[in-house]
Amino acid sequence: MFSLDNKIAVITGGGSGIGKAIAILLAKQGAIVHILELNIDSANEVVAEIKGTGGNAFAHACNVGDQKNVLEIFKNIGALNILVNNAGIAHVGKADTTDEKDFDRLVQVNVKGVYNCIYAAMPLLKNAGGGSIINMASVAAHVGIPDRFAYSTTKGAVMAMTLSIAKDYLAENIRCNSISPARVHTPFVDGFIKNNYPGKEDEMFEKLSKTQPIGRMGKPEEVAALALYLCSDEAAFITGCDYLVDGGFVKLNN
């Protein structure tokens, strides 16, 4: 089950965190993985790790918000079966404390970046006779989270885009689903805590972990396992769905 032999997969933001875990797992299951990453050094490190265990992977320096850059890379890749839109950035602020430049930056990466990759991938997926697209949304698209105005806005857009893509490409055998994680323990989370709560790292890590009813943050590998299922043939009957990977955050926080 869950074999991806000879499948070609593109993963944006695959140089760290959730994207890295997805890249490693898909390669382990036989996929040829292309990592699109702003930080090419981190992408190369993941590629080396994958190749070191017998997998097949390539790194591409990419700004997903730049359509010309994205189109060039997809053209060079040439064929595609799986697209994982994982690249994204966060922001802390309310509507009246979010600068226009910060709002535009989040839209450029989190919304336009997803659009750019889907736009570039669609001809390749059609040529392959179909495929799977996974978009990374968030629990912030489901519930109100304090001080996450711009981030929540973009992730709500990602969920709506997922439904639109799933509906529009049924006839082309292209499935599109989204994943909505709660807090997942990644280097980004560690950096966020260090920068915003110096001297209180352990205390804040514990506090943020407890916001999930299950009592801890998720692991990147747990999100990757769901991504593997959704892009495999075992999920051929699933499209237009969003999956919470949140330790009960949305449904059990009463």
Distance separating alpha carbons of residues 101 and 17, to the nearest angstrom: 26
119 annotated active-site: no
Of the candidates 115, 151, 169, 243, the residue annotated as catalytic is: 151
Q: Which residues are catalytic?
A: 151
